[in-house]
Structure 1
Amino acid sequence: MRGSPRHERILERLRRDGRVDVGELAVALDTSEVTIRRDLDALAEQGTLRRVRGGAVSLLMRGEELPFSLREVEAAAAKNRIAAVVASLVRDGEAVVVDSGTSGLAVARALAGRRLTVMPLSLPSATVLSASPSITLLLPGGTTRFGEGSMVGPITESSLAALRFDTLVLTCCGLSPDDGVTAHDLQDAAVKRAARRSSRRTVLVAESVKFSRTALATVCAIEDVDVLVTDEEAPPDVVGRFREAGVDVRVA
């Protein structure tokens, strides 16, 4: 198992239990305790955990999101498949908002090279799209969130309110039929709501791990989503409830 997938499984255990044990992880992940200790040391440098005797404890508050660099490797293959499906749903000539986050970055990469007008809501996505001569790039004003590069604040919301888009590619931190689409950061959630109000169609991207999470701020109800693109690990019963709500579900 390569480092990134192993780190992903360690972080999932930290999310669930708040503490991990070196010996238990070595057995569960079929590797040596030496390797697990190196993994924990690497994750400690990222600021997500604190090493203690025999293991580690989480430094993230309940419901707090992981740093961008770690989320970028979380379910990376699924995000790339989802992004490819999203790109197939977007027609040349459309005006598109690409939401922030690591899933939004994957979509930006999939859209690069297309003939589109795109407003990315993060600096990483703007950097990717700026290298494509066929993209008409619209940049919102606003404040950037440290470590995320996402655009937030009243200037960003005003930029969105002044325009009308064909498609919003919406990302999320949590997703459920009852709680709807949720995000950890209040300002980020406000920008997402503003983007949805300015778009004719909302395409939500959510890898399967998002179905087990609910974040602090509500973005919208599932009935407000036109298309949901997820991966094959998404729970069938929950996906069924989205379809019953009238959402077009695509599985990557």
Structure 2
Amino acid sequence: MSQTLRHPVILDLARKEGKVTVEGLARHFDVTLQTIRRDLAELAEAGQLERVHGGAVLPSGTQNIGYGERRRTGAEAKASMARACAALIPENAAIFLAIGTSTEAVARELLRHRNLLVVTNNMNVANILVANPDCQIILAGGTIRRSDGGIVGSLTVQTIRQFKLDLAVIGCSALDVDGDLLDFDIEEVGVSRAILGQSRRSLLVADHSKFQRSAPARIASLADLDTFVTDRPLPDPLANRCRDWETEVVVAPPAQPDRDA
């Protein structure tokens, strides 16, 4: 495959996986490591990737990747995390479900829960939970973000502050090594903070790829949360901090292959 054809494939893999490695790409294209290093250098020079040790990541910035692409990325890991998260949510509970594809996956796992009250600023979550007749759904008012069905703004925050619920389930766009939850949209950050402030317990659902990304706006710290559900063990320094903070870390089991496939 020529360089011209490799570059868009490399970018597509970076968007889906969060990071690409020199060795992985060399195997994928059956070319030398030096060839891939040149490709990554050219993509970095063009501002399309950022070089890191052993490979490259998408450039840090203030734009999130497309919602449809986020929904497809890591779908199996999200489903596994969602099952682990749903197992922590009792029946007869009142909960917040925030914006994000991971919280949508959690909503799918709540379709058999009984006697739930769910407040959400995510139209997709509301549409999923309509299929559960034993779930009361309250959709927060505000401005609809057409890109992902999220509802944000001051009216959303005002609505959320009318409640005090048992549990908040939130996502984030990025996590840094210090344990800070980050996002791209300052209005969404304000809504997430309001949700955390009106909940007795808080739970973050985020996969390992969030550590490979950056975003400019800070939501909170893992120190402020009760539980973090993810798909891979944390780096030792952050795992130790979570223990010090008394933030429970739940690592979802890997998705099982379909035996009938």
Given that residues 143 and 153 in structure 1 are in contact (C-alpha distance below 8 angstroms), is that contact kept between their aligned partners in structure 2? yes
Is the partner of 2:195 in helix, strand or coil? helix
* Matches for 1:73-152 after TM superposition, within 5 Å: 73-115=72-114, 116-152=116-152
Equivalent residue, structure 2, for 1:37: none
Give, in angstroms, the shift of residue 60 of structure 1: 7.8
User: What TM-score does the superposition give when structure 1 sets the normalisation length?
Assistant: 0.78
Amino acid at match of 1:192: S
Amino acid at match of 1:72: R
Amino acid at match of 1:183: D
Equivalent residue, structure 1, for 2:178: 178
Is the partner of 2:92 in helix, strand or coil? coil
Gap regions ≥5 residues in structure 1: 1-5, 18-23, 33-51
CA–CA separation in structure 2 for the residues paired with 1:178 and 1:198: 25
CA–CA separation in structure 1 for the residues paired with 2:89 and 2:156: 23
Counterpart pick for 2:15 among 5, 11, 18: 11
Change in 2 beyond 3 A, CA 1:91/1:114: same
Amino acid at match of 1:98: L
Bigger drift between 232-241 and 169-178 goes to 232-241
List per-residue Cα deviations over 1:166-185 (Å, max 9, x = no partner).
Answer: 00001111123536111111
Equivalent residue, structure 2, for 1:215: 215
Give, in angstroms, the shift of residue 139 of structure 1: 1.1
Bigger drift between 237-246 and 158-167 goes to 237-246
Equivalent residue, structure 2, for 1:71: 70
Give, in angstroms, the shift of residue 236 of structure 1: 3.9
CA–CA separation in structure 1 for the residues paired with 2:85 and 2:205: 8
Change in 2 beyond 3 A, CA 1:31/1:161: farther
Give, in angstroms, the shift of residue 61 of structure 1: 7.2
Instruction: Give structure 1 regions of 4+ aligned residues with deviation exceeding 4 angstroms.
Output: 55-61
List per-residue Cα deviations over 1:189-224 (Å, max 9, x = no partner).
Answer: 000001011100001111011123331111112211
Is the partner of 2:139 in helix, strand or coil? coil
Aligned residue pairs, count: 221
CA–CA separation in structure 1 for the residues paired with 2:238 and 2:30: 34
Equivalent residue, structure 2, for 1:155: 155
Amino acid at match of 1:165: L
Is the partner of 2:203 in helix, strand or coil? strand
User: What TM-score does the superposition give when structure 2 sets the normalisation length?
Assistant: 0.75
Given that residues 189 and 217 in structure 1 are in contact (C-alpha distance below 8 angstroms), is that contact kept between their aligned partners in structure 2? yes
Given that residues 122 and 150 in structure 1 are in contact (C-alpha distance below 8 angstroms), is that contact kept between their aligned partners in structure 2? yes
Identity %: 30
CA–CA separation in structure 1 for the residues paired with 2:136 and 2:142: 19
Does 2:227 match 1:192? Answer: no
Is the partner of 1:89 in helix, strand or coil? coil
CA–CA separation in structure 2 for the residues paired with 1:161 and 1:245: 26
Which has the greater radius of gyration? 2
Given that residues 181 and 220 in structure 2 are in contact (C-alpha distance below 8 angstroms), is that contact kept between their aligned partners in structure 1? yes
Q: Which has the higher contact order (CA 8 A, sep 6+)?
A: 2
Given that residues 227 and 250 in structure 1 are in contact (C-alpha distance below 8 angstroms), is that contact kept between their aligned partners in structure 2? yes
Change in 2 beyond 3 A, CA 1:124/1:102: same
List per-residue Cα deviations over 1:62-121 (Å, max 9, x = no partner).
Answer: 242111100111111111111111101111111010111111111111112212111122
Gap regions ≥5 residues in structure 2: 1-9, 32-42, 50-57, 253-261
Does 2:206 match 1:206? Answer: yes
Give, in angstroms, the shift of residue 123 of structure 1: 1.0
CA RMSD of aligned residues (A): 3.0
Is the partner of 2:223 in helix, strand or coil? helix
